[in-house]
Structure 1
Amino acid sequence: MAKAVRSTPPGVVDAAVAAALVWVSLTKAAASYPASGSRRFDALAIALTVAAGAILVLRRRFPLAVMALCAAAVAVYQVRGYWLSLNQISLQLAFFSVASWCGRRWTAAAAIAVFPELLYSNVHVWAGSVFDVCLGTVAQVVVVGLVGDGARRLRENHALMAAYNEQLHRKQRDREKRAVLMERIRIARELHDVTAHHLSVIAVQAGLARYVLDSDAETADQALRTISEVGSEGLAELRRLISLLRPEEDEGMRARADDRPAPGIAQLPVLIERVGLSGTPSRYTVAGHQRPLPAGIELCVYRVVQESLTNVLKHAPGSSVDVRLEYEPEHVRVTVSDTGVHAIPPQRSRTARSAAAQAAEHTGAGVGLTGMRERAALYGGELSAGNNPDGGFEVILTLPLDGAAAEEPNTRNVPLTSS
């Protein structure tokens, strides 16, 4: 019931109140025949009573005008000598509307206009001394004004609260949109890393297989098997990432695609060994107290190593690569360094360059280092990249660790060499 009343348009409520007030006033006047006032309740009295009540339909839109017209109708009604207390409710409701919809200055002005009319009526109707009647009329006006002012402040507070809630909802929607945008950027970066690495390895292996197809069938066969494995792995990762962009109705399909975990540190040996099969001698070393790391940090390490190796395949084919992963108490560091093409024997360098020809044609827009720095900054880490004094290129990623990565007493130094 209360919900239905709150949902009713204000104009309908005001019309119902005005109609009820007119009906009650006319019914009381008819029931008190002969009239209680000094003059009979004739057609003019009926018209003034109807006007004083009907004008209240507009009390929310034009409170000051309604107050003025209602006060004028009541004044004429009183001057003509009709039943003095009959239209007090209409006058007080008009005054209440001014107090609840206008400022306090207008409320004070309306109180000055209302008080004489109410006092004139009360003096002739109420019993007691003139002082008591004046005091009671003052209390009557003050109570109506305070109630109206309280209603105005309550409505303003509700409006402020609604605006505040709307602002909170808008901020929440902005945060959700920003989170969606950042997630799409992350997925785009993942797609870039996955596609660039796997296609680079495939291009290198395809060039190698083509180069040695007639002279070394075993090496060509190994290169083709590597292409098959890398292609299958790349497609699986692409499906996993693209499934994140599916709409909500494909939740079941997305859940099946997400069964494959994101790559991490455990997959680094396979990644580095595969690069070694592309004609890039590689070495992988793990130092320090190994312990489980958050999935995000493991993925960051994996992607940075993957992007660094991809850059080696593109820009320094055939060079030697050294990947070193160091666990320290407060951070984890990974270093990827290559020796540069000039350190490779001439004949081997020509073979490596020929094998990497297709990868070099798709070098990209040069955003790899920027993407790696952004990925490191996402986890509060740092990434430095530059030329080595002895030649070649070096990438160093340092990521801080919090207390969530519990330390385990498992220490080892694992070399992995491929050529």
Structure 2
Amino acid sequence: MLNVRSVAKVAASIPPLVVDLAIAAAVTWVSLTTASGSYPSSGPRRFDAFAIALTIAVGAALVLRRRFPLSVMAVCAALVAIFEVRGYWLSLNQAGLQIAFFTVASRRGRRWILAAAAVTFPVLIYSNLHEWIGSPFVIWLETAGRVLVIAVVGDGARRLTESRAFMAEYDRQVQRKQHEREQRAVLLERIRIARELHDVTAHHLSVIAVQAGLARYVLETDTKTADHALRTISEVGSEGLAELRRLISLLRPDDDEAGASADDRPAPGIAQLPVLIERVGLSGTPSRYTIAGRQRPLPAGIELCVYRVVQESLTNVLKHAPGSSVDVSLEYEPEHIRVTVTDAGPHAVPPQRSRTPRSAAAQATDHSGAGVGLTGMRERASLYGGALTAGRKPDGGFEVTLTLPLDKADADEFDTPALHEGESVLG
């Protein structure tokens, strides 16, 4: 069975010049073979060499009908008029004239359509009055109807072409604006990440300063405490250098530097997830939080990334699927950490709890995974060498999965036999 869309695509891919050549050849061939097969009595003159030349000229002019529609229309009208005045078969070349008239109607404005109709109608009515049998009024009416149909269909084709061109340009503008929005979202997300990593770095430096002061204070009296303080400085310094390596490729506005440096509090991390999820549960969204694997300290930047992704995912659930149940799963594995946020989907929202009366189609569009928030989350994940996937589930829900790699030192300390299920927070 033929696919209509496939055939339409194949036809649209054919160059216009090839189509015009085929139409011109077909019109010429049909006219010549018809004249050679039988010649009617409507014209007293026999179909001689001059008639053949006029017929071929009418068909050849159609090759340029798209490029010069008005000129081709004028040439075809003149050739057909000469053909009829010479006494040849009156209606033999009318097809070429009508195709030229349709081309003008489909490519020019209505003022030119009226002018072309004023030229086409006399040529057609002259032959029809000599060939058709019936009342002259009916012949005039039918000929006018034919001209009107060609004009209306051609004008409709022109407006359809203009509408498609407008929609194509509109789609290009929408895509360009969407690309600009994504680029802007990436830039803003990088700026926000830079600020947050600055907070993490400030926290590391604060710890180093405190431990260095402690080590200096007890260096001669308590060597064990001093040694522990120096070890802490080494570990925190290594983490801080790792964060600085990620930070160096990002830009940060100078006008916010003073305000950012005044806040030395560490950024939120995995330890704050239960509070975040419980807060979402209090808003009317049933939530559950599970932990699998042996929990262990992680770099502050990775914890911040996990926290922000969970926060953004829960925000999307509240915006696009209010009232839907949500599961947050955190898995510690030997070489990476994975967090998954899954909701039941907009279809699970009871009618009485849907605060915004929107259609299911609108909710599905908002919950499709093409928003700027997901762009920011993907940018954040790529900053730490991880990956983020988001999409619909077969049952209609939505799932966001973040996977971040861990350093080999953290993997070596991971006790695989000690995997266990963590606590659950219900809201």
Fold match by TM threshold 0.5 = yes
Instruction: Name the SS for the 1:292 alignment partner.
Output: helix
**Alignment pair present for 1:50 and 2:56:** yes
Unaligned runs of 5+ in 2: 1-6, 251-266, 281-299, 305-424
Measured in 2, the distance between the counterparts of 1:292 and 1:230 equals 31
Name the structure 1 match of 2:295: none
1:23 to 26, 29, 44: 29
1:292 aligned partner, one-letter code: E
Name the structure 2 match of 1:12: 18
Distance 1:117 1:230, change over 3 A: same
Measured in 2, the distance between the counterparts of 1:130 and 1:263 equals 91
Measured in 2, the distance between the counterparts of 1:120 and 1:152 equals 29
How well do the aligned residues superpose, as a CA RMSD in angstroms? Answer: 3.4
Name the structure 2 match of 1:130: 136
Kindly state the Cα deviation for residue 238 of structure 1 after the two structures are TM-superposed: 6.4
Measured in 1, the distance between the counterparts of 2:149 and 2:112 equals 16
Decide whether the 8 Å contact of 1:100 with 1:150 is kept in 2: yes
Instruction: Name the SS for the 1:61 alignment partner.
Output: coil
Instruction: Name the SS for the 1:127 alignment partner.
Output: coil
Decide whether the 8 Å contact of 1:67 with 1:94 is kept in 2: yes
Kindly state the Cα deviation for residue 30 of structure 1 after the two structures are TM-superposed: 1.2
**Alignment pair present for 1:2 and 2:4:** no
1:77 to 83, 87, 96: 83
Kindly state the Cα deviation for residue 150 of structure 1 after the two structures are TM-superposed: 0.8
**Alignment pair present for 1:98 and 2:82:** no
Name the structure 2 match of 1:182: 188
Equivalences for 1:131-280 in 2 at 5 Å?
131-206=137-212, 209-210=215-216, 213-214=219-220, 216-234=222-240, 263-264=268-269, 266=271
> How many residue pairs were aligned?
263
Decide whether the 8 Å contact of 1:99 with 1:152 is kept in 2: yes
1:65-85: CA deviation from partner (whole Å, max 9, x where unpaired): 111111111111111111110
**Alignment pair present for 1:110 and 2:96:** no
Measured in 2, the distance between the counterparts of 1:13 and 1:290 equals 65
1:20-39: CA deviation from partner (whole Å, max 9, x where unpaired): 11111111111125876211
Unaligned runs of 5+ in 1: 246-261, 269-288, 295-301, 307-406, 410-419
Instruction: Name the SS for the 1:83 alignment partner.
Output: coil
Superposition TM-score, scaled by structure 1 size: 0.56
Distance 1:237 1:219, change over 3 A: same
Measured in 2, the distance between the counterparts of 1:158 and 1:34 equals 45
Superposition TM-score, scaled by structure 2 size: 0.55
Aligned residues with identical type, % of pairs: 67
1:73 aligned partner, one-letter code: L
Measured in 2, the distance between the counterparts of 1:144 and 1:34 equals 26
Measured in 2, the distance between the counterparts of 1:217 and 1:234 equals 25
1:157-187: CA deviation from partner (whole Å, max 9, x where unpaired): 1112212222222222122212222222222
1:325-367: CA deviation from partner (whole Å, max 9, x where unpaired): xxxxxxxxxxxxxxxxxxxxxxxxxxxxxxxxxxxxxxxxxxx
